[in-house]
């Protein structure tokens, strides 16, 4: 029942081509489209923990903020050229995010279920408060990344392709992780962690690795987004728990937790509707967004792909093999 | 023959309730031993103590001559001592094949190999074992869609996939369709004979355990009441009293 390789590759290839030519097709929407890729990376990296591993994290925005701050600090203090500073900064952000992830992960990932969710809830908020009180990183006023040196209008195109590139790297890496034993192991942890331990799986190692992979891509992304937005505010931009922190959860749930394409789909739908709300329902956009969330949770508790999987299990490779010899039990 | 599993004077209490008191038993390698006792006699507690689910209050547990009293569950599992659960535990959201593939021997899941795909040999073995327990046709169904009895069979197959040296089975036939029990017993014997897995089986069904086990330990009120060959235990007055509630 496996999809032929050609068909499995058709969708990524189409998206890749579309993504490459999108700025030329719709130059007016480059920033919004850049944010579409940002949202996709948000949803994908959240789903690695929340969907595939069953650890609902509300603290992932921490890594995003760390990456953002680290990148802009490198750009400010290391006198490198614009592009080298940006790329060194993004790399530094990713490394720092992974280090922080490994450090706090060892403690936090010992919590299970709701306790983990609650434990992570305060992380983003605490980080925002800490950054807001730390003068080295600009305190409550935040930081401003250096000006883009290229031609007017080149900035949007550059950051579009930068966020596009991050998304294009993130997706196959996660897909590769899910396709091997690592994917099976984190699914096993999601379904029954006690059983996984009883079978001898090194659950802590898998959990920390997953958390660090998520941290890596969010750290990388943070630097790019700080520059894309043009300023780094501790509470509203970097450690934005109430917007990005919540959206990444919603998008993954909307598309279908624990599926490869669900987060991509969810992020696309969420982002497009949100932009439409801003444009056509100004003043009511938050109400509309709230209604959308209610609709998602009530009608698609398992997300769009989760719902599809329940409705057509055979298309997802689940089914009784009629040809095989008769089963027992 | 030195026992593969040796439990000596194990004591475990929960608050004021003494669940295991001075329990000692030994299982020689390659055998099938039984553990019986009325409800609440401390059988599952003893299993939990052996596999490191909770610390014991006293006594020692040795596996292949190695002290494992203070080791935790995953460490003991990696030594090759596995248990199945009374309330069957499988990975509900994963297909049967996936359940099997992640149950490979923990030695296969090192730093690097943990990120690889499962090998074709493992996939074949997973399918063979699913065939062995009669779940081959359902191999692409999520574990949670199986009936309780089928989940038990899947859990058993997962345990075999992991190539343990010894398996502790907590009521393997409970909830299984009576017409299938004989088939399951045959598979347990086959696992013991062909894969060389030592079995210690908790069982309530007397007919089953008397057929299956070569030697039986009987617990009552947390203490070892009697042990011996099935025929002897069956006729032991103390065992009959414990089950029938004589005064």
Residue of B nearest to A325 (CA): B137
pLDDT of residue B112: 76
- Residues A27, A36: Cα–Cα separation, whole Å: 14
Q: Which two tokens stand for residue B43?
A: 């059988």
**pLDDT band of B92, cuts 50, 70, 90:** very high
- What's the burial of A204, exposed, middle or buried (CB within 10 Å: 0-12/13-18/19+)? middle
Average pLDDT of the segment spanning B46-71: 93
Suggest the residue from B115, B134, B179, B180 to mutate for an interface test with chain A (most A CBs closer than 10 A). Answer: B115
Better-scored residue on pLDDT, A41 or B112: A41
Tell me which residue in B89, B141, B180 faces A328 most closely, judged by beta carbons: B180
What is the three-class DSSP state of B81?
strand
Give residues with Cβ within 8 angstroms of B154, minimum separation 6. B90, B96, B99, B130, B133, B135, B143, B146
pLDDT of residue B198: 95
Query: ipTM of the predicted structure?
Result: 0.88
**pLDDT band of A3, cuts 50, 70, 90:** low
- Residues A192, A124: Cα–Cα separation, whole Å: 28
pLDDT of residue A323: 58
Q: Which of A144-148, A262-266, A287-291, B101-105 has the lowest mean pLDDT?
A: A287-291
Distances from the Cα of B14 to the Cα of A167, B69, B202, angstroms? 52, 18, 21
Average pLDDT of the segment spanning B114-142: 91
Please, which residues 80-119 of chain A have a Cβ atom closer than 8 Å to chain B?
A: none
Residue B14: in which H helix or E strand, if any?
A: strand B5-14
pLDDT of residue A184: 95
Average pLDDT of the segment spanning A246-265: 91
Q: Does A180 touch chain B (CB under 8 A)?
A: yes
Tell me which residue in A185, A194, A196 faces B114 most closely, judged by beta carbons: A185
Q: Does A315 touch chain B (CB under 8 A)?
A: no
- Give me the CATH code for the A30-316 domain, please: 1.10.3470
Q: Does A65 touch chain B (CB under 8 A)?
A: no
CA B81 to chain A, closest CA, distance in angstroms equals 9
- Residues A257, A249: Cα–Cα separation, whole Å: 9
- Residues B112, A325: Cα–Cα separation, whole Å: 36
- Residues B154, B160: Cα–Cα separation, whole Å: 10
Give the rounded percent of residues in chain B with a pLDDT score beyond 90. 68
- Residues A213, B20: Cα–Cα separation, whole Å: 45
Contact A32, A156 (CB under 8 A): no
pLDDT of residue A67: 95
Residue of B nearest to A189 (CA): B91
Nearest to A69 by CA among A42, A94, A52, A45: A94
The count of other CB atoms within 10 Å of the CB of residue A264 is 26
**Helix, strand, coil proportions of chain A in percent (round to 5)?**
75, 0, 25
pLDDT digits (tens, 9 = 90+) for B7-45: 999 999 998 889 999 999 999 999 999 999 988 889 999
Kindly give the residue spans of alpha helices, DSSP state H, lying in chain B: 43-50, 73-79, 96-101, 120-132, 148-161, 178-194, 206-212, 230-235, 237-244
Q: Which of A135-139, A293-297, B129-133 has the lowest mean pLDDT?
A: A293-297
Quick check: B93 and A317 CB within 8 A?
no
pLDDT exceeds cutoff 70 at A195: yes
> How far out from the chain centre does Cα A156 lie?
21
CA A13 to chain B, closest CA, distance in angstroms equals 23
pLDDT of residue A213: 96
Tokens 């992640």 identify what position? B102
Q: Which two tokens stand for residue A324?
A: 């095989």
Contact B48, B54 (CB under 8 A): yes
Tokens 């080298």 identify what position? A84
Q: Which two tokens stand for residue B66?
A: 């190695």
Most confident residue range from A86-90, A144-148, A241-245, B102-106:
A86-90
pLDDT of residue A322: 64
pLDDT exceeds cutoff 80 at B217: yes
Tell me which residue in A177, A200, A329 faces B106 most closely, judged by beta carbons: A200
pLDDT of residue A327: 40
- What letter would DSSP give residue B42? S
Quick check: A185 and B177 CB within 8 A?
no
pLDDT exceeds cutoff 60 at A326: no
b/e map B153-175, b = 16+ CB within 10 Å: bbbbbbbbbbbbbbbbbbbbbbe
Nearest to A208 by CA among A234, A226, A189: A189
pLDDT exceeds cutoff 70 at A325: no
Q: Which two tokens stand for residue B219?
A: 């617990």
pLDDT of residue B243: 81
Contact A169, A258 (CB under 8 A): no
Contact B235, B226 (CB under 8 A): no
CATH number, domain containing residue B240: 3.40.50.300
**pLDDT band of A297, cuts 50, 70, 90:** confident
Number of domains in chain B: 1
Q: What's the number of CA atoms in the CB half-sphere (13 Å) around residue A226?
A: 36
pLDDT of residue A1: 42
- Residues B203, A101: Cα–Cα separation, whole Å: 46
CA angle B219, B225, B226 (to 5 degrees): 105
Range of the domain at B126: 5-244
Q: Which two tokens stand for residue A220?
A: 């990388």
pLDDT digits (tens, 9 = 90+) for A34-88: 999 999 999 999 999 999 999 999 999 999 999 999 999 999 999 888 999 999 9
Over chain A, what is the mean pLDDT? 88
Q: What's the number of CA atoms in the CB half-sphere (13 Å) around residue B13?
A: 7
User: How is chain A split into domains, by residue range?
Assistant: 30-316
Q: pTM here? A: 0.89
- What letter would DSSP give residue A139? G
Over chain B, what is the mean pLDDT? 90
Collect all residues of chain B within an 8 Å Cβ-Cβ radius of residue A321.
136-140
What is the three-class DSSP state of B102?
coil
pLDDT exceeds cutoff 90 at B199: yes
pLDDT digits (tens, 9 = 90+) for B145-186: 999 889 999 999 999 999 999 999 999 888 888 888 888 899
- For β-strands B166-170 and B81-83, DSSP reports them as parallel
DSSP for B107-175 reads GG--TTGGGSPPPHHHHHHHHHHHHHTT-GGGTTSBGGGS-HHHHHHHHHHHHHHT--SEEEEE-TTTT
Q: Which two tokens stand for residue B110?
A: 């090192």
């Amino acid at each position: 029942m496996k999809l032929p390789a050609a068909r499995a590759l058709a969708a990524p290839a189409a998206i890749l081509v579309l993504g490459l030519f999108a700025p030329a097709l719709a130059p007016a929407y480059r920033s919004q489209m850049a944010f579409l890729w940002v949202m996709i990376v948000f949803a994908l990296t959240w789903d690695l923990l929340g969907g595939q591993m069953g650890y609902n994290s509300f603290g992932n925005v921490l890594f995003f903020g760390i990456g953002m701050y680290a990148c802009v600090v490198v750009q400010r203090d290391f006198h490198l050229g614009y592009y080298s500073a940006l790329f060194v900064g993004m790399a530094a952000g990713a490394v720092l995010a992974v280090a922080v992830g490994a450090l706090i992960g060892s403690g936090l990932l010992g919590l299970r279920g709701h306790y983990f969710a609650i434990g992570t809830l305060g992380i983003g908020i605490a980080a925002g408060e800490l950054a807001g009180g730390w003068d080295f990183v600009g305190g409550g006023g935040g930081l401003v990344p250096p000006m883009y040196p290229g031609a007017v209008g080149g900035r949007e195109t550059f950051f579009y392709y930068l966020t596009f590139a991050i998304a294009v790297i993130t997706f196959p890496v996660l897909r590769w992780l899910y396709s091997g034993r690592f994917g099976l192991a984190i699914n096993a942890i999601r379904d029954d962690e006690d059983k996984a331990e009883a079978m001898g799986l090194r659950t802590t190692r898998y959990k920390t690795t997953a958390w660090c992979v998520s941290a890596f891509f969010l750290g990388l992304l943070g630097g790019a987004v700080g520059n894309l937005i043009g300023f780094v505010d501790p509470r509203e931009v970097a450690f934005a728990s109430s917007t990005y922190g919540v959206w990444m959860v919603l998008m993954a749930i909307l598309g279908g937790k624990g599926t490869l394409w669900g987060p991509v789909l969810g992020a696309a739908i969420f982002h497009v509707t949100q932009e439409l709300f801003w444009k056509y329902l100004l003043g009511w956009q938050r109400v509309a967004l709230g209604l959308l969330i209610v609709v998602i949770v009530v009608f698609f508790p398992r997300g769009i792909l989760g719902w599809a999987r329940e409705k057509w299990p055979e298309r997802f490779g689940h089914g009784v093999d009629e040809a095989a010899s008769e089963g027992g039990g | 023959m030195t026992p593969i599993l040796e439990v000596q004077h194990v004591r475990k209490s929960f608050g004021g309730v003494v669940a295991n008191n001075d329990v000692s038993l030994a299982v020689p390698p390659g055998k099938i031993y039984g553990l019986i006792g009325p409800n609440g006699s401390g059988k599952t507690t003893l299993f939990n103590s052996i596999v490191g689910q909770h610390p014991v209050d006293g006594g020692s547990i040795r596996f292949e001559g190695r002290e494992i009293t203070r080791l935790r569950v995953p460490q003991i599992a990696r030594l090759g001592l596995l248990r199945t659960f009374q309330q069957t535990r499988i990975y509900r959201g994963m297909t049967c094949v996936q359940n099997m593939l992640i149950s490979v021997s923990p030695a296969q899941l090192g730093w690097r190999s943990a990120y690889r795909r499962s090998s074709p040999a493992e996939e074949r073995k997973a399918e063979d074992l699913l065939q062995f327990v009669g779940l081959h046709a359902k191999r692409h169904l999520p574990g949670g869609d199986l009936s309780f009895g089928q989940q038990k069979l899947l859990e058993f197959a997962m345990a075999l996939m992991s190539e343990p040296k010894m398996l502790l089975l907590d009521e393997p036939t409970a909830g299984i369709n009576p017409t299938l029990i004989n088939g399951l017993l045959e598979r347990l014997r086959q696992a013991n004979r062909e894969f060389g897995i030592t079995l210690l089986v908790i069982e309530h069904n007397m007919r089953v355990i008397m057929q299956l086990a070569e030697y039986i330990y009987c617990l009552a009120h947390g203490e070892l009441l009697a042990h011996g060959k099935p025929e002897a235990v069956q006729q032991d007055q103390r065992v009959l009293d414990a089950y029938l509630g004589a005064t």
